Amino acid sequence: MIVCRSKAEIEKLRRVNRLVARILADIRRMAVPGATTREIDAAAEALVGEAGAVPAFKGYHGYPATVCASINEQVVHGIPSNRRLAEGDVLSLDIGAKLDGFFGDCAVTVPVGRVSDDAVRLLRVTEEALFHGIEAVRPGVRVSDIGAAVQRHVEAHGFSVVREFVGHGIGTALHEEPQIANYGPGGYGPRLAEGMVLAIEPMVNRGGPGVKVLGDGWTAVTRDGSLSAHFEHTVVVTLDGCEILTLLEDDASRVRERMGAAVRS
Ligand code: MF3
Ligand code: CO
């Protein structure tokens, strides 16, 4: 069953999602050459705690940290460590938190210093693909219309979509129904309705779509070693589209310029 949230519940979801978006905006600035992902994780954990919230990933099936920090060919679920970021890396930061019984979840991939033109293009296309997915969201469309929009954009630019991980409903649990694949034909799955809350999170590889999980049981990497990017927003379905709960006003104007007026926060 997919839950449709009440106005009061949506307000709580707004608060926690805005919180994770703000924290992500803070910690992404720490992604500079020489920094370790453990330092970034520690800062995130402190900010979550100061806000009276609880990290959502820490302890989830034994995951050991507040953020996922995935570097270069790491797709998602990289564990923060003492590895130092280097000029030219790309870093995906994913953060989730729980506040007042409700969950927030968002992710971004950022360049570390100056990165290759290829990396810039991969990041741009992945974030655009996320917004194409978001633009597909409105009452009456089917869940798979989201993934179809994502995949179309990604493949039009010669990149590939990861199949093994999906977006998800979110609310009083981090992962609720439905699962939201980032590929496949449109027109399938449940119809969206006002009040549904969805975390949409495409993962895009420079090379082939294949991924494997490393021996730590968490870190997913591309099979061919190619670069990977990941962006995530949590949205609530509204009467005529959706509201992005994790989009800060600063970011909204930047995205609007690129994607058009449809983007609302
Ligand atoms: N954004 C990811 C997700 O929603 C992060 C989960 S990491 C985990 O699935 F540790 F919680 F699994
Ligand atoms: Co998620």
89 lies in a domain?
yes
Q: Is 231 in the pocket of ligand 1 (CB under 6 A)?
A: no
2 lies in a domain?
no
Nearest of 153, 224, 147, 157 to residue 180 by alpha carbon: 147
For residue 235, the domain's CATH number is: 3.90.230.10
Give all strands of the β-sheet with 74-76 in edge-to-edge order.
Answer: 74-76, 220-222, 211-213
Q: Is 45 in the pocket of ligand 1 (CB under 6 A)?
A: no
Residues lining ion ligand 2 (Cβ < 5 A) are 105, 199
- Indicate yes or no: pTM above 0.85: yes
- Tokens 């490393």 appear where? 214
Which ligand 1 atom lies nearest to the CA of residue 174? 4
| pLDDT higher at 252 or 110 | 110
Bridge partners, residue 229, by sequence: 204
The dihedrals phi and psi of 140, each to the nearest 5 degrees, come to: 100, -25
List, for residues 33-69, the tens digit of each pLDDT value: 999 999 999 999 999 999 999 999 999 999 999 999 9
Domain count, the chain: 1
Which ligand 1 atom lies nearest to the CA of residue 107? 1
List, for residues 143-188, the tens digit of each pLDDT value: 999 999 999 999 999 999 999 999 999 999 999 999 999 999 999 9
Which ligand 1 atom lies nearest to the CA of residue 68? 7
Please give the Cα distance from 57 to 64 (Å, whole number).
8
User: Using CA positions, which residue lies closest to atom 10 of ligand 1?
Assistant: 57
Domain, as residue range, for 230: 7-262
Distance, CA 61 to ligand 1 centroid (Å)? 10
1 lies in a domain?
no
Please give the Cα distance from 218 to 212 (Å, whole number).
10
Bridge partners, residue 91, by sequence: 71, 110
40 lies in a domain?
yes
